Amino acid sequence: MTGAKPVLAIASVGSSLVPETVRLVVGTLANRLDPLAAMAAPPLLINMEPMKPGESFLTKPELIPEGAYDLEFLQHLRESGVNIEQKSQQEVYGIKGTAVMERSIRRLMLCAVLRLPASMALRLLTDPIGS
């Protein structure tokens, strides 16, 4: 909020909605990324697969989209002890949440006044009605 005006709204749905919401808020407000760049960045995925025998939360693989990061970065993660598992784009679509970010005051106020649930706000925020 800037005074009484909202500066950002995020509508999200799906299994990774919390990580996606946090990623967009931190990327845009804390790291000052352009909203389009933040939306285009690889999603954060939650590994909701059951734990395997002998596995713990510390050893459970972090899921990442295949091709989202360069090999040097992935190697650095592995050397740092991060267990990663790449997922195909098709698998990612089944895992990730969907989030839309809006900075248009007109749309933000409409969503707030109508007290829309996330699924309806998502539809409104993606409809090209103008700002």
Q: Distance from first CA to last CA of the chain, Å, rounded?
A: 18
Provide the pLDDT for residue 125: 57
Q: 20: pLDDT confidence band, cut at 50, 70 and 90?
A: confident
Q: What letters, b where the CB count within 10 A reaches 16 and e where it falls short, cover 48-76?
A: eeeeeeeeeeeeeeebbbeeeeeeeeeee
pTM above 0.75, yes or no: no
| Mean pLDDT value across the chain | 78
pLDDT score for 129: 45
Q: Where are the domains of the chain?
A: 1-44+97-131, 51-95
Q: Average pLDDT for residues 53-68, to the nearest whole number?
A: 92
Kindly indicate the confidence band of residue 63, based on its pLDDT and cuts at 50, 70 and 90: very high
Cβ count within 10 A of residue 89: 10
Query: Exposure pattern of 13-39 as b/e (b: 16+ CB <10 Å)?
Result: bbebbebbbebbbebbeeeebeeeebb
